[in-house]
Amino acid sequence: MAGPESEFDLIQRYFGTPSAGAVADGVRLGIGDDAALLAVRSGHELVVTVDTLVEGTHFFPDHPPASAGHKALASNLSDLAAMGAEPLGAVLSLTLPRVDHDWLAGFSHGFLALAEEVGIPLVGGDTNRGPLAISVTVLGEVPVGQALRREGARPGDRLVVSGALGGAACGLAHETQRRAEGGPVDASSPACARLFWPAARLSLGRGLRNRARAAIDISDGLLADLGHLCAASGCGARVDWPSVPRDPLLAEVSEQQARSCALGGGEDYELLFALPPGESLDLLAFSVDVPLTVIGECTEGAGVVVEDANGQRLDVARAGHDHFANTE
């Protein structure tokens, strides 16, 4: 009978595949040494971001492991998209309560499938024993001086979002109810598509270089992330609620629930950006593969206001996701 597998055996079995460690442009040394070696092209800057997913906070224990792998990478890629960067390499740190081969096989499949799709090699990582947590660091590059920032928006700029909003929040509500009722998880359920399988808008981010004045990805909720952009830019914002593109799932809920999901729900990973009046939205939309919608404008002063179809101010909750809210 074979002995227990070591940390290095697990890495080799699930993450040491040719596709995971293949040498790509910019990767001088990948998995297998004490650290990876990456080369940034001349005239480019290095972009680095990290995100951690924790079981019970970002995904439920019975959620498909492939979706956890996909989401762990996609959430980081969305940060690269919001900076206008191109992927260069990824590093994965896994904390596991035990060795579960079925879970590891599913997780690695979801992670590596997305990595191959967007062309980002896994160049290193670490494994530890403890409560289940997934930490991913991704590195990218962007031409010097062309990185998108949260600061830079000006009064009069149009506020534009990609895709549709509220799908992930609707999926979370669906999953919370399912677990309360004791039902089985369905990885292919349309209700959970945005929650389980988010998409990072990398091509749009690249297309916004030298066009958008400011950008941010919607991970904590539209109003919360718009608030971050406005605070960094020193301006306010007006949002036209009827113009906000909503996920088709929201057609089945009340108007109040729809507003809560579309304005306050997080993890949609769409891009929100400020477009100057002289930039053609039609030309930009023609060059990317996702719908773009003007939802309002940047204003003088501070604060974010949401208006209805008659221009009347709506009283809506503006708080987005905060890991330490309401904790002692």
Annotated binding site: 34, 49, 51, 58, 79, 125-126, 150, 217, 219-220, 267
| Angstrom distances, CA of residue 197 to CA of 109, 111, 193, 286, 300 | 13, 11, 6, 25, 37
Question: Binding site residues for ATP, as ranges?
Answer: 125-126, 150, 219
Give the amino acid at 194: R
Q: What is the dihedral of CA 105, 106, 110, 111, to 10 degrees?
A: -40
**Inter-residue contact 248 to 241 (CB < 8 Å):** no
**Inter-residue contact 166 to 250 (CB < 8 Å):** yes
Paired sense of beta strands 27-29 and 37-38, if any: antiparallel
Question: Binding site residues for substrate, as ranges?
Answer: 58, 267
CA 196/CA 168 separation, integer angstroms:
8
| Angstrom distances, CA of residue 86 to CA of 22, 83, 132 | 18, 9, 29
Query: Sheet harboring 122-129: ordered strands across?
Result: 44-54, 133-143, 86-96, 122-129
Question: Binding site residues for Mg(2+), as ranges?
Answer: 34, 49, 51, 79, 126, 217, 220
